Structure 1
């Protein structure tokens, strides 16, 4: 059944809203991740230093995640989530049309701002709309959906890389993501009866371990998806077909 039935007691409108936007942003981001390195090496002919610059700038939107707070003062969270999904899709879709360093930086920043801002708002909406009993269940379903979306993106690239150019593959996965963002803009899944959410940054010393693990998770991701993947493609000549297999596994 698509989408899966929400857990008992979960708000069905917000659940369905987050379900489709999670699927869309996962397809867009994972599609970009799968295609980018081979595209950068084979089409844009970026050096290791160029790739390092692009991937470093890709993390800037994550560091600027606190900017979501002033945005939420003038815009509803579900609107921000939909616009973020749209930005992720547009950044991904446009990447294949500009095989050179500076355009790639711009499209990467657009995609990254969308993805990171969606992740921030997604977590906020989860905690706001689902109680302590249903939040882990909804979160688990959405995590499973994200894994399924990543697998679907890998299967798509694996199946189409033999006959579709990078431009078309970026465009397809990006357009699917952008369409979910447009769809999200047409809906209002909010519940007016919920208490107004606090819109300020909170840091607590007792969460230091969580902060540290999050930092290490980011470092691990950079080592694997940036350095190791570029090495495999540039030095060992892994094709995008082989990269898709690697990500499927």
Structure 2
């Protein structure tokens, strides 16, 4: 047991699982809770979702925070903050109350996600990173599965109120954060991290691919599920069933992606992902069969797991002391699209839902073109094929 608390990999698993445990519950319950208990209208849920994304956009402030507190301690604080935000959610079923608890939850979640990526790339060797990140992704999928089952049992068979369901999932993450702080060894940085916020020109390809990935993520998160409900009338039970299928497949698929990256490299993996996404988005635009739509939703979700390759590409090209700073910057870049894209594409949707997915295909195609610039063996000083 003592060896467990001296393992950096074990801590990465704990951070990832605890993060998914409370955030998946928060997201799963949100739409029903705000309508049934808080009596939200469309405008209020729009404001809440915008507030939720702002801390992601401000993830670069992690670099300012680690001037005063070590990354690992900040990660523990973020776990506690995430847990506290989820814990309090059900006890304040008003617009102002939910806005405040959402911001608390979101700051914890986005800081933890940023630090988790930063520490993963610092602590894992370049050879083992794809494999371990794939296994962690599988563990996160299994955790989501457990969350869905627990929520179903708690609310279907025991009729537990929303506030106590939220309190349970939030409390687990909060307590795990405190125990981790006390029990885990506080590891020293192998490389002292850069404490200044810098956008380095050497990483321009990584930043651009990250921005486009954020744009595609928004199209999937906001509009793919919406298409299933609006066009095909998919009910909540079938949507939950799809999430179950995604989680189960990801448990097996994510480790395989890690092995694929190790064998074939980031360039081939990302090209495969982008070509797959082009086909999926074009298919979304013209799909007329509900079972084909189901299949597209599942394949879409699996392809996004291949984003591990973008992280390991950055790990190979980055100066080790830049990883924390660049991870924070990339997380902010990833969320730029979240600030404006749903609103703009929502207007496009009113004109043509097919056009929204055609735009998604164009973004994926641009990503594919940029992936041609990734070297076969990227490393520091040889970040793109444009550099000789």
Which residue matches 1:205? 204
Alignment of 1:238-249 (within 5 A): 244-249=240-245
Contact 1:58 1:109 in 2 (8 A): yes
CA apart distance, 1:212? 3.1
What are the Cα deviations for residues 26-81 of structure 1, in whole angstroms up to 9, with x where unaligned? 01100000011100010001001110110011000000101101100110111111
Judged with a 3 Å threshold, the aligned counterparts in structure 2 of structure 1 residues 69 and 193 are, in CA distance, closer, same or farther, namely closer
Deviates further, 207-216 or 54-63: 207-216
CA apart distance, 1:187? 3.8
Judged with a 3 Å threshold, the aligned counterparts in structure 2 of structure 1 residues 243 and 99 are, in CA distance, closer, same or farther, namely farther
Judged with a 3 Å threshold, the aligned counterparts in structure 2 of structure 1 residues 238 and 161 are, in CA distance, closer, same or farther, namely farther
Contact 2:151 2:165 in 1 (8 A): yes
Which residue matches 1:80? 74
User: Which structure 1 residue ranges, 4+ long, deviate > 6 Å from structure 2?
Assistant: none
Which residue matches 1:41? 35
SS in 2 for 1:213: helix
What is the TM-score with the length of structure 1 in the denominator? 0.85
Aligned CA RMSD, in angstroms, stands at: 2.8
CA apart distance, 1:134? 1.5
Gaps of 5+ in 2: 246-388
CA apart distance, 1:20? 1.3
CA apart distance, 1:243? 5.8
Gaps of 5+ in 1: none
Q: From 55, 63, 68, give the equivalent of 2:62.
A: 68
**Structure with the higher fraction of residues in helix conformation:** 2
Contact 2:15 2:116 in 1 (8 A): no
> Residues of 2 paired with 1:219 and 1:164: CA distance?
32
1:184 aligns with 2:180: yes
Which residue matches 1:102? 96
Deviates further, 135-144 or 89-98: 135-144
Contact 1:39 1:166 in 2 (8 A): yes
What are the Cα deviations for residues 196-239 of structure 1, in whole angstroms up to 9, with x where unaligned? 122343343222542233322441354159x839x96xxx8966
Judged with a 3 Å threshold, the aligned counterparts in structure 2 of structure 1 residues 223 and 174 are, in CA distance, closer, same or farther, namely same
What are the Cα deviations for residues 149-203 of structure 1, in whole angstroms up to 9, with x where unaligned? 1111111111111211101110111111111111122145344371212234334
Which residue matches 2:143? 149
Judged with a 3 Å threshold, the aligned counterparts in structure 2 of structure 1 residues 190 and 217 are, in CA distance, closer, same or farther, namely farther
What are the Cα deviations for residues 100-134 of structure 1, in whole angstroms up to 9, with x where unaligned? 11100010011111010001100111111111011
Give the structure, 1 or 2, with the largest relative contact order (CA under 8 Å, sep 6 or more): 1
1:24 aligns with 2:34: no
CA apart distance, 1:141? 1.5
Which residue matches 2:219? 220
Judged with a 3 Å threshold, the aligned counterparts in structure 2 of structure 1 residues 192 and 207 are, in CA distance, closer, same or farther, namely closer
CA apart distance, 1:83? 0.8
Alignment of 1:159-198 (within 5 A): 159-162=153-156, 163-192=159-188, 194-198=190-194
Judged with a 3 Å threshold, the aligned counterparts in structure 2 of structure 1 residues 224 and 154 are, in CA distance, closer, same or farther, namely farther
SS in 2 for 1:186: helix
SS in 1 for 2:150: helix
Which residue matches 1:114? 108
How many pairs align? 237
